[in-house]
Structures are given as structure tokens and as C-alpha cells.
Structure 1
Amino acid sequence: MLLDFDPDVVALSAQPFWLRWHDGVRPRRHAPDFFVRRADGGGVVVDVRADDRIEPADAEAFAATAVACGQVGWLFRRVGVPDGVLVANVRWLARYRHPRCVGDGTLADRLVEVFAEPRSLFGGAAEVGDRIAVLPVLYHLLWCRRLVADLTGGLLGPSTAVGPAGWSR
């Protein structure tokens, strides 16, 4: 879900291939968690494992994967457990990812105008109209990053500061 939310990611595949090698004692194999195609055309292989759950065999598999990726011009990243608040906020916004949330675009255009100056999520939504109609569009704009908010500082709520793309608090 976090990869889907990343604007630099244009495609991804889960467990995209098996990497096989011999460690000098026995044959080994590893299926990385994700292959990511970036907007710049580059490839990234991603393994997800919490730091405290990496056994020696896992570390060896990650090292072998990094070497193989380097040989074909891809990056390798091993990531740990993502921030819980970020995950909760992105999970919420993901519900509004579909373009149908925007409707004819009238509310979206108005929201972009209103949030040209950062303000609270509910305050700006109320300036545009009925929150029941406006909030799905606002959440879609946050998903698409036409509007931005700090998704790590706390759960999205009425007082969350929202601003234009490129703005940071």
C-alpha cells in the first residue's frame, strides 16, 4: 500500500522471482518481496523484514540479493516495519484512491483553491460545502498528492493541517 502511495512508483510486483545461488556449502534460494519500477525507469527490489526478525540466513539472502541486483543495474532495499501512524493514514486515504471520488472535478478544483493557503482539514472542507460530499474528494486529493498533510505526526482528523502540493509543515 505504501508503494502504491509513492508517486515515484509506476508499477510493482509481489514476489516477482526466485534468486538461486550456491553459498559454498549448499544451494540457496530467495524470493524478494517486491519488484518496483520507478518513474525514472529504474528498478528496485524490496525485501520487508523487521530488524529484530533478521536471522543469519536472512542476512545472507539479503546480501546475495543486493549483489544480484547490482549486477543487473537495480537497487536493493531492505525495509523494516513502517511507522504505524503513516500506515493508518495511508490505509484511510487508499479508500479514496479511485478517480470516481472526484466526480466532475468541480469540488476538487475548489478544494485546491481553498487549500492554496494551509488550513485545517475540516475547516477547509467546510468552506467548500457539505462535508459528506467534500471529504471523499479531499481524501482523494491527498491520496494523489495534489494536496498534502503530515501523515506521520498523528492520525488524520478535523484539525490536521492540509496545504497545497509541495507544502510542508
Structure 2
Amino acid sequence: MSTTFPVVRDALRHDQPLPRYQPEHNRPALWSAQARWTDVVIQHTVPERPGLPQGWGYRWTLTYRHGSLDRTAPVAVASTADLLTADPVRVNSWHPKKTSRAGLRYMHSTGRHHAHESLFERKLLCVLDFAGAAEVVSQPFTLTWHDGTRERHHTPDFLALIDGQVIVINTRPAERLNNRLLDDAAALGEVCLSRGWGHALVVGYELPAYTAIETVETHARDHDRLGYGETILDLLRVRGPMEFAAVCHSVDGHLVARAILQRLIWERQVSVDLNRNLEDWTLVALPNAEVAR
């Protein structure tokens, strides 16, 4: 007896094509060595929240945790240093009936594991890792605020320190956005504006950019005991930009060279166009020798 997966059956029933990645060949080049994390994510514009009452910065509070001790401080005077060293205010858990997949992900930029409450959040940790985030805190605090009618509570997903800038980030797939989250995000945006922090609501990831980053990350910790990395860099200095496969085949032990080349991309020592699929004919260049495609 043949079995048809529900998603396929539903798509056929409604005469809708299955979702597929459609490359946009006219996109400008996005070279990985210069790419920022905001180039890889899709953000939702959060509207401003007008008419905040006078003195709201001292009535709205942030509650964060250090070990087993919870601390609460007004938004206006909460210590950024304390928030960046806080523990998650929620404990992640997983059970067979839970639809999201919580867990831990190792980040090379911080040298530690960080909690995520879904695979969508896990993807963001990969992007922040590629961006070289110096610090990341999962579920860093709970914002207690008042919407004019009632008191509300909101816990953002991440607090990150990237290039010296503190950024508070919420993540939610675009199809799961709702008014409650948008209201919370608007209030959080005012908090960040008052403190000089950045704020983002991530609703998706750019393809194929995210796929390329996730692919090269698998080799980020590979050891280069034979010095292939320096050989590849010398080759690119002499010959200029080359195709991915050509670089690897120019080095003895090209199978190992492929892994080391991907590590160099992750470390931003060489650059590829993230707006194109990472394939054998992908152009590889030194950061100062990138060319237009």
C-alpha cells in the first residue's frame, strides 16, 4: 500500500505547487567576508509605540537571573553588564508531544553552548556565530510593561553583543506573527531606543545565504595539521579569484582541502558570494580581491 505524505496530498488537492527555492540571478553579490548578520536574516518592521506616559522608564522593569537569584530593576537604570552575564530566565525542556525542539548549540565566537527554544532560534544562533557575536544570552530578561489597560510581560529570545553594539532579538516565523507579539515587540523597541540598544524581530532567513553559512560551519573546528589553509591563501594571492573546485584540485589531498577551504570561508579569510549557491563553480576570492559577478 502506498502512502502519500499529508503536505503533498494537500498541495495537490488545492492545486498549489510545492514550495521550492527560486534563485534570483540578478541579485547583487553579497560577499561573505563583508556580510553582516542583518544581511542574512529577514526582519519585520516593528511600529513605534506612541504616547508613552511620563516616567515610564522607571515604572517598566526588567527581571533577570543570576544563578538562582532573580533581580528586578527599572528599565532606565538596569545594568547592561548584568544583563550580558545573566542566565536564561526560562529553563528549556523537551518532550515527545512538544512541537518545538529546544536544545543547546555551541557557538565558536563565544566558546560556549547557548540555549534555544526552537530550530528557528537555532538558526539565528548560527547566523550570530558567523557574525562573530562576542556574547549571547538566551531569554535574557522579562520585560514588565503597561499597555494603558493592564500589566503585561514579555521575554525576548536573545540579547547579543555584536561589534560592540548590544542588540535585543526576537524570532518568530513570519506565518506565526500575531498582534500580541507585535505589541510586545513595539514596547521592547521603545526600551531599546531609550537605552541605545539595537532591536530586531527576525521572521526568516535569506536563501541561499543561510544555507551556505550553515554548510561551512560544519568545518569551523577542523584542524589544519598539514597547513592546507596557508597553501590555499598563497594560491589565491598568486592566481586571484578561482572556482571552488579548482582551488581544491590545485592542492594535494584535495578532499581535505575542501574542508579547510570551508573553514576559511567561515573565518572570513576567503570570501564567496552568499547570494549564489555554494557549488564547485562558486568563485572564491580573498576579501580584498572580490570581483563582480
How many equivalent residue pairs?
Answer: 164
SS of residue matched to 1:78? strand
Structure 1 residue 115 and structure 2 residue 240: aligned?
A: no
Q: 1:56 aligns with which of 179, 185, 208?
A: 179
Instruction: Kindly provide the amino acid, as one letter, of the partner of residue 44 in structure 1.
Output: I
- Give deviations 1:35-83, integer Å, cap 9, x for gaps: 11022x2201111223443211111111111111122221111222002
Percent of aligned pairs sharing the same letter: 23
Q: Deviation at 1:157?
A: 1.4
Instruction: Kindly provide the amino acid, as one letter, of the partner of residue 48 in structure 1.
Output: T
Alpha-carbon distance in 2 for matches of 1:48, 1:122: 36
Instruction: Kindly provide the amino acid, as one letter, of the partner of residue 119 in structure 1.
Output: M
- Give deviations 1:87-140, integer Å, cap 9, x for gaps: 221111111111x43235x21111112223111001011112222221111110
- Aligned Cα root-mean-square deviation (Å): 1.6
Alpha-carbon distance in 2 for matches of 1:5, 1:164: 17
SS of residue matched to 2:140? coil
Q: 2:150 aligns with which of 26, 34, 46?
A: 26
Alpha-carbon distance in 1 for matches of 2:291, 2:150: 51
Unpaired runs of at least 5, structure 1? none
Map 1:89-108 to 2 at 5 A: 89-98=212-221, 100-103=222-225, 106-108=227-229
Give the equivalent residue in structure 1 for 2:56: none
Alpha-carbon distance in 1 for matches of 2:263, 2:184: 39
- TM-score w.r.t. length of structure 1: 0.88
Alpha-carbon distance in 2 for matches of 1:101, 1:161: 24
Alpha-carbon distance in 1 for matches of 2:139, 2:146: 20
Give the equivalent residue in structure 2 for 1:14: 138
Deviating beyond 4 angstroms after TM superposition, the runs of 4 or more aligned structure 1 residues are none
Give the equivalent residue in structure 1 for 2:276: 153
- TM-score w.r.t. length of structure 2: 0.53
SS of residue matched to 1:158? coil
Structure 1 residue 70 and structure 2 residue 178: aligned?
A: no
Give the conservation status (yes or no) of the 8 Å contact 2:248–2:255: no
Q: Rg larger in 1 or in 2? A: 2
SS of residue matched to 1:43? strand
SS of residue matched to 1:109? helix
Between Structure 1 and Structure 2, the one with more helix by share is 1
Alpha-carbon distance in 2 for matches of 1:101, 1:15: 33
Q: 1:130 aligns with which of 248, 253, 256?
A: 253
SS of residue matched to 2:214? helix
Q: Deviation at 1:168?
A: 5.0
